[in-house]
Structures are given as structure tokens and as C-alpha cells.
């Protein structure tokens, strides 16, 4: 079984460059789920799997009073988040963001420390979703809220994937030549999950709400969404080579890699306009830790 922290250490730069921009709009929309809580006084926020700091930094920029702690299994991703915070935030705002390496299912924080727990595109990666959600419940104060966005399982035919498969076949590149399996999403099946330790995409909005209830939360709600992103051909090649299929490309000899990249770019460029729009189903879920009972 592969560790997601180690994997993200290797692909951190590719993630920052090619995949974080695809997720940003839907990730940041997660903040809307807790806007009322912030207006009511929530101040301490935990961002699970902060990555390059997408959610954490957006929260700091949106709400002057909040402090955000980001955790991530990958030290390289934490480095990216800190560098991005240095670049984007004023010194005063920078002081409201801290980040550390940690796993979502073993949080290095005391009980009830946070008002809000947020997360974008991470709960599909944790080895045990229920353990991660129980940890989130533990570190929330009574009455605190969790909100997350992640992938909803489903068939998502995409011309970019079809072209990639065709080109691999045309060039006689078998995925076993170098492959260790698809990475973040989308085509992951049960075998991939067994191999890399992911808990996988949510099966339904109902499963998302049920999972939160099983972890001890109340008022669980989940809604489906659709992430849409128009790749340009070079951007999709970058996404494959430096992020999603980095293992495959990294394992090829130079001559094969160059040929694969060139053929891919040529074939993707020949697609009709609009064919490189990726459409993936998402789910946003939220719930509350029960308020403390009055004596
Ligand atoms: C798809 S990225 C999402 C990053 C960011 N939240 C965003 O929306 O752009 C997934 C992140 O989760 C982290 N991760 C994966 N498994 C984790 C775990 N068990 N505990 C904490 N972080 C984890 C990865 O290192 C990576 O940074």
C-alpha cells in the first residue's frame, strides 16, 4: 500500500501547477457552507489536507477575524502552502495561518480546539474515512461545524482520457511498463484503492451524510455539484506528465517519453473545441457536533 503523503511529496509541484487551479473554484465554494458560523463568531478553523493552502488562504482573505491551521500528510505540500501564504498574504494576515505535517486520522490537537473543520478534495484519499471524520468530530468544540467537498463516484467520459489511452496503444506503451496506477481521481477502481490505500470517491450524497452521522455528527446534509474545467491541450499534457500519470511518464526511457508527449499534444490539439472540458461530479457535505447540554 502506498502512502499518500509520500506520493504528494513527489508530485507537489505538478499539483500546484496543473491540478490546484482546476479545483480552486469548487474548493473555495466550501467556505459558503460555514459563512453563517463565522458571522456568529467562529474563529478557529482547521483545514484537513490543506495542500497548497487553497481553502485556508481563501478563508483568511475572506474573514479578517479567523485563524486557520492547515494540516497535510505531505511535508512538500505544507511547504507549498507556506510559500503561497508568504507570497499572497500581508504580514498581519500571514500570522493567522499556521501549517504542519499530520494525518487526518491522527490529529495532533486536543479535544474541542476548533470552531470549524474544513476540507476540499481530501476525504477520498484518507485510508479510513470514518476514522478521519471521528478525529474531526473530536477536535471540534461542541456546536462546531464540519464542511467538506470531494468527488462523487460516477462515470465521467472525457475526450482527454480517451486520446491518452489511444496514444498509449498506438505507441505500444503498456501501462505496466511503468505504471503504478492512476492518481488523484477519476478512473480509480476498487483495485486502485486497495493498492494505494484510498477510501475512494463518495458513492452518493446519502452516503456522505450517513458517514457524518456515523462519525457522531448531527444535522448532516450533502448536496451534489459538478466541477467543470476547460483544459487547453498543453495544460492537459502537463497535468498528465507532472501529476496524474507522473509514475508512468517518469518510468519511461527519454525517447519513449518524448514521443508520447509529442503524439499526445498533436492529438489533443486536433480535438474539436469544447472536447477538453472536464466535467466531474462532486459532493459538498456539512454537519454539526452536538452542542453541549446545559446542566
Ligand atoms: C487533492 S489534494 C487537495 C488539496 C487542497 N485541499 C485543495 O483543495 O487544493 C489532496 C491533499 O490531501 C493530502 N492528503 C492525502 N491523504 C491525507 C491524509 N491521510 N491526511 C492528511 N492529508 C492527506 C495530500 O497530501 C494532498 O495535499
Distance CA 120, CA 258 (A): 34
pLDDT score for 188: 40
> Model's pTM, two decimal places?
0.91
Positions of the chain with pLDDT under 70: 1-2, 176-196, 294-295
What is the distance in A from the centroid of ligand 1 to the CA of 263? 32
Name the CA radius of gyration of the chain, rounded. 20
49 C-alpha to ligand 1 centroid (Å): 4
Cα–Cα distance measured from residue 30 to residue 147, given in angstroms and rounded to the nearest whole number: 7
Q: Which of 4, 126, 149, 197 maximizes ligand 1 atoms within 8 Å of its Cβ, making it the mutation to test the pocket?
A: 4
Burial class (CB in 10 A: 0-12, 13-18, 19+), 92: exposed
CA distance 247 to 183: 9
Determine the pLDDT at residue 294: 67
DSSP strands (E only) in 41-96: 44-48, 67-72
Q: Which fold has domain 4-288?
A: Rossmann fold (3.40.50)
Q: Is 73 in the pocket of ligand 1 (CB under 6 A)?
A: yes
282 lines ligand 1 (CB under 6 A): no
pLDDT digits (tens, 9 = 90+) for 197-236: 899 999 999 999 999 999 999 999 999 999 999 999 999 9
Cα 13 to Cα 42, 71, 79: the distances in Å are: 33, 18, 10
Amino acid at each position: 500500500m502506498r502512502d499518500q503523503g509520500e506520493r504528494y511529496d513527489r508530485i507537489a509541484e505538478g499539483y500546484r501547477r496543473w491540478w490546484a487551479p482546476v479545483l480552486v473554484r469548487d474548493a473555495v465554494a466550501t467556505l459558503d457552507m460555514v459563512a453563517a458560523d463565522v458571522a456568529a463568531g467562529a474563529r478557529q478553523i482547521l483545514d484537513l489536507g490543506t495542500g497548497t493552502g487553497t481553502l485556508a488562504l481563501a478563508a483568511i482573505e475572506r474573514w479578517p477575524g479567523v485563524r486557520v491551521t492547515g494540516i497535510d500528510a505531505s511535508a512538500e505540500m505544507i511547504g507549498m502552502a507556506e510559500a503561497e501564504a508568504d507570497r499572497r498574504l500581508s504580514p498581519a494576515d500571514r500570522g493567522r495561518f499556521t501549517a504542519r505535517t499530520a494525518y487526518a486520522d491522527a490529529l495532533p490537537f486536543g479535544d474541542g480546539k476548533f470552531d470549524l473543520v474544513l476540507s476540499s478534495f481530501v476525504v477520498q484519499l484518507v485510508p479510513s474515512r470514518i476514522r478521519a471524520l471521528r478525529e474531526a468530530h473530536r477536535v471540534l468544540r461542541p456546536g462546531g461545524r464540519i464542511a467538506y467537498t470531494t468527488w462523487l463516484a460516477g462515470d465521467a467520459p472525457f475526450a482527454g482520457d480517451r486520446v491518452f489511452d489511444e496514444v498509449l496503444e498506438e505507441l505500444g506503451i503498456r501501462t505496466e511498463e511503468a505504471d503504478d496506477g492512476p492518481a488523484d481521481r477519476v478512473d480509480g477502481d476498487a483495485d486502485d484503492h486497495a493498492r494505494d490505500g484510498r477510501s475512494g470517491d463518495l458513492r452518493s450524497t446519502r452516503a456522505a451524510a450517513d458517514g457524518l452521522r456515523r462519525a457522531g455528527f448531527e444535522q448532516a446534509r450533502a448536496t451534489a455539484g459538478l466541477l467543470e474545467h476547460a483544459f487547453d491541450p498543453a495544460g492537459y499534457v502537463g497535468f498528465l506528465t507532472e501529476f496524474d500519470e507522473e509514475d508512468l511518464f517518469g518510468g519511461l526511457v527519454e525517447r519513449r517519453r518524448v514521443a508520447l508527449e509529442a503524439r499526445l499534444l498533436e492529438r489533443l490539439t486536433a480535438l474539436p473545441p469544447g472536447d477538453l472540458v472536464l466535467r466531474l461530479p462532486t459532493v459538498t457535505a456539512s454537519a454539526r457536533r452536538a452542542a453541549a447540554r446545559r446542566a
